[in-house]
């Protein structure tokens, strides 16, 4: 997120948004901070500070809808947004107990980065509107905050905040069965856990996660989750130079050991952080990647396992597989190259990650009828 409210003169806080004075008063009586939108001005309540919004800023805030909430930093930058129809993400921490070789976060950030204080996470949940369509909970590794995450999940569930959830985790924590059962006891309905498998065996998976023992923990964790009532798991495979020749073997492992998974997502890399540092080992041109993806997808389809392709632009994917391509890149991270202007499929294509675009310069092939 990179949106700045240029005239912001308040303090770093979470605010409910409202365009209606009566509703704003109701919110303040419930102990919420409010950002009231009135003809290109924003009033911060209860302190009654005001500042002028540009037309673009006003339209953006209004588009989030009454009842949405935003967290604004001291400098006016919007740190998080939660709205009924928004692509909502609850970011827990930069930190992770793995150190994947193609992670878009750099190692120093993952080791020493920021963890959102527990009290702020609780407040964000309190401010969120009820009945949001979807929430992704992510990091880093969200379970870095251990059982505090259970408390957050309980709040989300008890206050009917969200209809459907995706939690992104490396899955290692679920190797502990007791933990898995405790987790299952607090998760809301319609809850999916997305877990990456990097290789068909410990040698490849652990080389990519750079954590000995992680393959055993992750696969035990998936087993435990699937054996636990009402837990759904999506397996994510991030295609890179190291695991591409083994993609089909990963699919065979999934069909053999985890036939009950919700789906498999085959994903392109976001070339930032560790991925750039290790680009010589991990970068694989997208057309080459697809030669490995194709038999893998065919195998999963044959085994009646749902599969989707994330983060790959259409021009690198055979047309007969386009129906599996999702517009999966978050809107503010999407880039199109100059050549894309002449592509007739631009509106259907999910684009390229900002950061990955420089690896695809001169490589995209605009689709022309």
Sites of contact with ligand SF4 (CB under 6 A): 313-315, 336, 339-340, 343, 345-346, 349, 352, 364, 366-367
Give all strands of the β-sheet with 69-72 in edge-to-edge order: 49-52, 41-45, 34-38, 13-18, 69-72, 78-82
Contact 144, 97 (CB under 8 A): yes
* Nearer Cβ to ligand SF4 (187/314): 314
Least separation in angstroms between residue 321's CB and ligand SF4 is: 13
* Nearer Cβ to ligand SF4 (11/361): 361
Structure tokens at 268: 């392109």
Structure tokens at 273: 């952080």
Structure tokens at 173: 């924590």
Least separation in angstroms between residue 278's CB and ligand SF4 is: 24
Helix (H) or strand (E) holding 122: helix 118-127
* Nearer Cβ to ligand SF4 (197/340): 340
* Nearer Cβ to ligand SF4 (113/366): 366
Least separation in angstroms between residue 22's CB and ligand SF4 is: 46
Structure tokens at 43: 């009033």
Least separation in angstroms between residue 346's CB and ligand SF4 is: 4
* Nearer Cβ to ligand SF4 (253/343): 343
Structure tokens at 91: 């970011």
Q: Nearest 5°: phi and psi at 274?
A: -60, -35
Least separation in angstroms between residue 353's CB and ligand SF4 is: 11
Least separation in angstroms between residue 315's CB and ligand SF4 is: 3
Q: In which residue are the tokens 């290790």 written?
A: 278
Contact 289, 242 (CB under 8 A): no
Distance CA 352, CA 333 (A): 8
Least separation in angstroms between residue 86's CB and ligand SF4 is: 25
* Nearer Cβ to ligand SF4 (15/310): 310
Distance CA 266, CA 247 (A): 9
Q: Nearest 5°: phi and psi at 293?
A: -70, -35
Among 143, 164, 146, CA closest to 234: 164
Contact 343, 315 (CB under 8 A): yes
* Nearer Cβ to ligand SF4 (153/349): 349
* Nearer Cβ to ligand SF4 (237/343): 343
Least separation in angstroms between residue 350's CB and ligand SF4 is: 8
Among 293, 233, 237, CA closest to 263: 233
């Amino acid at each position: 997120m990179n949106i700045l409210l240029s005239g912001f003169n308040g303090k770093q806080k979470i605010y409910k948004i409202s365009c209606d004075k009566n509703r704003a008063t109701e919110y303040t009586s419930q102990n919420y901070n409010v950002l009231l939108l009135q003809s290109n001005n924003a009033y911060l309540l209860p302190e009654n500070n005001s500042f002028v919004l540009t037309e673009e800023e006003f339209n953006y805030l209004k588009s989030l809808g009454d009842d949405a909430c935003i967290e604004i930093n001291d400098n006016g930058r919007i740190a998080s947004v939660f709205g009924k129809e928004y692509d909502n993400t609850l970011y827990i921490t930069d930190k992770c107990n793995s150190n994947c070789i193609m992670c878009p976060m750099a190692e120093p950030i993952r080791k020493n980065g920021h963890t959102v204080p527990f009290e702020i996470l609780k407040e964000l949940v309190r401010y969120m509107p009820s009945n949001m369509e979807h929430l992704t909970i992510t990091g880093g590794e969200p379970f870095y905050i251990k059982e505090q995450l259970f408390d957050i999940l309980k709040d989300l569930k008890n206050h009917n905040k969200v209809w459907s959830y995706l939690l992104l985790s490396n899955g290692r924590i679920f190797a502990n069965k007791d933990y898995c059962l405790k987790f299952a006891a607090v998760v809301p309905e319609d809850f999916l856990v997305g877990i990456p498998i990097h290789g068909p065996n410990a040698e490849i998976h652990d080389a990519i996660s750079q954590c000995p023992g992680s393959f055993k923990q992750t696969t035990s964790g998936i087993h435990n989750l699937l054996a636990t009532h009402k837990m759904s798991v999506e397996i994510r495979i991030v295609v890179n130079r190291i695991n591409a020749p083994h993609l089909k073997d990963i699919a065979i492992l999934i069909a053999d050991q985890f036939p009950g998974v919700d789906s498999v997502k085959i994903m392109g890399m976001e070339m930032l952080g560790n991925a750039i540092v290790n680009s010589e080992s991990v970068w694989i041109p997208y057309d080459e990647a697809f030669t490995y993806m194709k038999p893998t997808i065919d195998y999963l389809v044959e085994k009646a396992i749902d599969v989707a392709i994330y983060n790959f632009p259409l021009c690198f994917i055979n047309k007969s597989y386009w129906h599996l391509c999702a517009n999966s890149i978050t809107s503010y991270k999407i880039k199109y190259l100059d050549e894309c202007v002449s592509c007739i499929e631009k509106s259907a294509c999910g684009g390229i990650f900002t950061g990955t675009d420089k690896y695809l310069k001169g490589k995209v092939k605009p689709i022309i009828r």
